[in-house]
Amino acid sequence: MTIPGDQTREKLLTLARDLYLEKGLAGFSLREVARRAGLSAPAIYRHYDSKEALLSEVCSEGFRIFATYLMQALDASGPRQRMAASAQQYLKFGLEHPRYYRFIFMGPEEDYRPFSPSRSGRPDHTFQFLVDRVRECLDAEVIAGPPDTSEIALRIWAHVHGLVSLRLSGHLHGVGTDAEFRRFYTRACDELLNGMA
């Protein structure tokens, strides 16, 4: 059962995410989020004491949803299959939650840095998930590469992120429908992993 406080939180996160995507950090304000939510400006401060706190929670929510997708890849039968499933879950998250995808992965770095989960300099848990998939693929000798698992993970992330971001920004409309794009994406990911074998 959803309680009113949860509904208010969900509404504020959605409105904040969408306002940020519309106006960027410079055009973002708690007052405007409150106005869109039908709240008084002082009322929103009962929930968040700054725009950074609200945007940080939006970011955390986006990564929480993203992590639920990635965890489904662990059901695959072996290291290579879990890596391929991770790539598929990345795409699925992007297509099913394009606004959260844009918020957490496509915003300007100077805007994103204050509320990024990796602001501490440590990788966030979703990137660590990819590093772990790389490590198990290296250990099983289904891919080869430098011993630095983070470097390999960055190459893979750049590949899948590039494809999904281009799709969401409309630059790959020539590939066709979402179903056709999924087939294109799957071939591209398979070719990447085959090239790393």
User: Quick check: 115 pLDDT over 70?
Assistant: no
What is the Cα 74 distance to its own chain's centre? Answer: 18
Cα dist from 96 to 57, 102, 186, whole Å: 20, 12, 17
Which of 102, 86, 92, 109 is closest to 156 using CA atoms?
86
Q: Residue 2 pLDDT > 90, yes or no?
A: no
Its pTM stands at 0.88
Query: Could you tell me the domains of the chain?
Result: 1-49 (1.10.10.60), 62-195 (1.10.357.10)
State both tokens at 189.
Answer: 């990911």
At 151 the pLDDT is 92
Residue 148's CB is within 10 A of a number of other CB atoms, namely 11
Neighbours of 96 (CB within 10 A): 11
pLDDT in tens, 10-67: 999 999 999 999 998 889 999 999 999 999 888 888 889 899 899 989 989 999 999 9
pLDDT at res. 4: 52
Quick: pLDDT tens for 81-90.
999 999 999 9
pLDDT at 3: 35
